[in-house]
């Protein structure tokens, strides 16, 4: 894995494709163990979670449904603006359903808090959260993350769905800003 240069920023290899795939498969089996008597609805948060969501459901060995929501993103910035807007709502009915919110990364927790509050208004049977990455030192909101792929330092990362100004989502590995 090579370094990636973006202007003056240097991104260094952080999690390999193999490491990510192994952990995603483990998470899928753990979820299936907990949800096997139900048909959960995986709800991906666009755009970042689309790669993780895809691998997660491919490794999920039971019945499930999927849907997506879209929240406003960081845009071209590397830090959170502190505000969330809903850009795309759900298409399915979630009343009495078991929901699994799928995030690529939890940073301050603002997006997850917004999503949970939004969904609970529609009276689902349950709501849990799975995230591939969590930055524990960045958390500012009181959110419970039920399933975590990797805990990482509070550094900006790209690849495997995560962007920098909309690019680099298609990298199979995850890279971390070194400076
Ligand atoms: P939060 O609302 O928890 O502060 O941030 C969650 C969202 O911020 C993620 O879904 C992601 O879009 C974006 N984000 C947070 N940290 C990073 C990061 O290190 N890299 C990238 N590319 N996006 C991030």
Q: Which residue is associated with the tokens 């890279």?
A: 175
User: Backbone phi, then psi, for 118, in 5-degree steps?
Assistant: -60, -45
Stretch among 68-77, 117-126, 141-150 having the lowest mean pLDDT: 68-77
Q: Is position 34 annotated as part of the catalytic site?
A: no
Q: Convert the pLDDT of each residue in 3-36 to its tens digit.
A: 999 889 999 999 999 999 999 999 999 999 999 9
- CATH for 4-68+85-177 is 3.40.50.2020
CA 88 – ligand 1 centroid, Å = 18
CB 39 within 8 A of CB 15: no
pTM, rounded to two decimals: 0.94
What separation, in Å, do the N-terminal and C-terminal C-alpha atoms of the chain show?
18
Q: Which two tokens stand for residue 81?
A: 């603006």
Instruction: Name the active-site residue from 55, 104, 107, 163.
Output: 107
Place of tokens 């030192």: 137
pLDDT tens digit string along 156-172? Answer: 999 999 999 899 999 99
Q: Does residue 79 surpass a pLDDT of 60?
A: no
Delimit the domains of the chain by residue range: 4-68+85-177
């Amino acid at each position: 894995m090579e370094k990636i240069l973006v202007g003056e920023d240097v991104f260094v290899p952080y999690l390999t494709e193999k490491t990510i795939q192994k952990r995603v498969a483990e998470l899928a089996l753990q979820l299936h163990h907990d949800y096997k008597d139900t048909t959960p609805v995986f709800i991906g948060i666009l755009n970042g979670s689309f790669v993780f969501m895809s691998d997660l459901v491919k490794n999920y060995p039971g019945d499930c449904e999927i849907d997506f929501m879209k929240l406003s993103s960081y845009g071209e910035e590397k830090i959170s603006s502190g505000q969330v807007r809903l850009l795309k709502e759900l298409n399915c009915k979630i009343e009495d359903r078991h929901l699994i919110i799928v995030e690529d990364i939890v940073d301050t927790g603002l997006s997850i808090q917004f999503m949970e509050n939004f969904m609970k208004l529609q009276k689902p049977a349950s709501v849990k959260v799975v995230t591939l990455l969590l930055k524990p030192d960045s958390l500012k909101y009181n959110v419970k993350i039920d399933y975590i792929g990797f805990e990482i330092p509070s550094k900006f990362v790209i690849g495997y769905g995560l962007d920098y100004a909309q690019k680099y989502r298609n990298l199979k590995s995850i890279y971390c800003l070194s400076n």
